[in-house]
Structure 1
């Protein structure tokens, strides 16, 4: 994977690109995450596809412009501009958690740019933060207060434990990158900006306009984005399939990487099941 930066509307986007492969998978990470979340399966995906994974503004190594709008709509538009900047067309989108919702936003706004969608634990029924929560985000030095009191070891441990709840668990080197991400000041600023600016997830009426062949993959024990949200998407997307991984939480790529790859290959590679 080669590492690159590209500027889009003043935002310096970090991405990794395998460069080779006829079909292209563009991978979108989730909330308080980065392209690192794809590492457990990325090298395997490059055997069959050109794989591109980028860090969303506010996360990982991407540096957002001062006036970047932290809305789902704008994240979707930025995804479109990123793909067009690379001169690509008819790509597949692979999204996890918040990245799944952003993939849906992009597919709705420019359907002809995309071919298939593969969504893992995609957020689907999230509401805009409450008025009180939004007001907190406007308080001067709220990011410093959050850093001092909410993003230190104890609170981070609680957050991580919920993400991993119900799954097989992670330890040591596999867990540390997620802890480190939670403690970055830029991430805290992004969380607060999302708290102020993000809107509700897509309405049922909007979801029904998406006609792309879509594969929904869920951990049965996901405590962050429950299986009910996967069932909601499956009811409202016109051309979707819902598959479930038993004894799995919110990070299937880490918990069951080869199971995820099996589902992904089965969806994207014709006759894959007949070849195995």
Structure 2
């Protein structure tokens, strides 16, 4: 996206300071939700294509990116969905198309379940699905005063580049800018507090019978070599969601917006036209 056109600001929603990027241009609104341990940067290559056809609103979820790492916000999918609804109201949007990547896709589904009248369509990219809640012993352990440090050391067992290799099929696309961007949250102490609270409060993903009640038109886009959320999850979702379509790309991993931005854009445009 042309950074001269996009407006970046902090807004307060649910008593949390939220980092937001937006271009409101009178075109149909499209709201972007990133996945776990990510930010609006997930859609960096997609935005320049999308803004010619849609108004764009993208936020860093509480606990991630440049948004507040709140120690009072309850990091549940239900609360994230309520925050997305409040974001829609904040910008006075109607008939919103939500684009969600990975965990952001699950939050999009929670939102569509809660306020279907506000959502026009869903675009789910490598969407998280059918994950259960964390095991009880981990939830109990999250209350230990040193648990944040356990998460810190667990995450730092690998380099950022190793994590990126796991989400890309084409490793040649990994560059220094990307490594720097994904390293930023790892440098913040409060980030690990947020992860602890997410582990503690995150419900399981929506169950089959709940998905079957979501009639919002949904486009599922998947990389066939996704090592994080298998394409088999997409095949289950397209079966459970009553009004869904699945598209898959060969030789593509989990970070599909980086590997196939043009194809993703073209399929989104085709689906929403």
Indicate whether the TM-score tops 0.5. Answer: yes
Query: Are 1:107 and 2:146 matched, yes or no?
Result: no
Partner of 1:178: 182
Query: Are 1:266 and 2:270 matched, yes or no?
Result: yes
The alpha carbon displacement at 1:19 in A equals 1.4
The alpha carbon displacement at 1:224 in A equals 0.5
Instruction: Tell me, yes or no, if the aligned pair for 1:92 and 1:116 is still in contact at 8 Å.
Output: yes
Query: Are 1:41 and 2:46 matched, yes or no?
Result: yes
Provide the secondary structure at the position in 1 that maps to 2:86: helix
Partner of 2:140: 135
RMSD of aligned Cα (Å): 1.8
Partner of 2:3: none
Equivalent of residue 10 in structure 2, options 5, 28, 35:
5
Shift of the 202–168 alpha-carbon distance from structure 1 to 2, 3 Å rule, reads farther
Partner of 2:34: 29
Query: Are 1:219 and 2:240 matched, yes or no?
Result: no
The alpha carbon displacement at 1:168 in A equals 6.0
User: In structure 2, what is the Cα distance between the partners aligned to 1:223 and 1:169?
Assistant: 17
The alpha carbon displacement at 1:248 in A equals 0.5
Instruction: Tell me, yes or no, if the aligned pair for 1:31 and 1:97 is still in contact at 8 Å.
Output: yes
Q: TM-score, normalised by structure 2?
A: 0.92
Instruction: Tell me, yes or no, if the aligned pair for 2:126 and 2:221 is still in contact at 8 Å.
Output: yes
Gaps of 5+ in 1: 270-276
Q: TM-score, normalised by structure 1?
A: 0.91
Query: Are 1:239 and 2:239 matched, yes or no?
Result: no
Q: Choose 80-89 or 90-99, whichever is displaced more.
A: 80-89
Equivalent of residue 213 in structure 2, options 192, 209, 213:
209
Instruction: Tell me, yes or no, if the aligned pair for 1:107 and 1:210 is still in contact at 8 Å.
Output: yes
Q: Choose 126-135 or 257-266, whichever is displaced more.
A: 126-135
Shift of the 89–38 alpha-carbon distance from structure 1 to 2, 3 Å rule, reads same
1:212-236 CA-to-partner distances (Å, cap 9, x unmatched) read: 1110000000011111111111001
Query: Are 1:88 and 2:111 matched, yes or no?
Result: no
Gaps of 5+ in 2: 1-5
Instruction: Tell me, yes or no, if the aligned pair for 2:71 and 2:193 is still in contact at 8 Å.
Output: no
Shift of the 226–107 alpha-carbon distance from structure 1 to 2, 3 Å rule, reads same
Instruction: Tell me, yes or no, if the aligned pair for 1:13 and 1:54 is still in contact at 8 Å.
Output: yes
Partner of 1:198: 202
User: In structure 1, what is the Cα distance between the partners aligned to 2:133 and 2:196?
Assistant: 13
User: In structure 1, what is the Cα distance between the partners aligned to 2:245 and 2:171?
Assistant: 22
Partner of 2:253: 249
Partner of 1:228: 232
Query: Are 1:69 and 2:74 matched, yes or no?
Result: yes
The alpha carbon displacement at 1:145 in A equals 3.9
Instruction: Tell me, yes or no, if the aligned pair for 2:71 and 2:194 is still in contact at 8 Å.
Output: no
Instruction: Tell me, yes or no, if the aligned pair for 2:170 and 2:259 is still in contact at 8 Å.
Output: no
Instruction: Tell me, yes or no, if the aligned pair for 1:77 and 1:106 is still in contact at 8 Å.
Output: yes
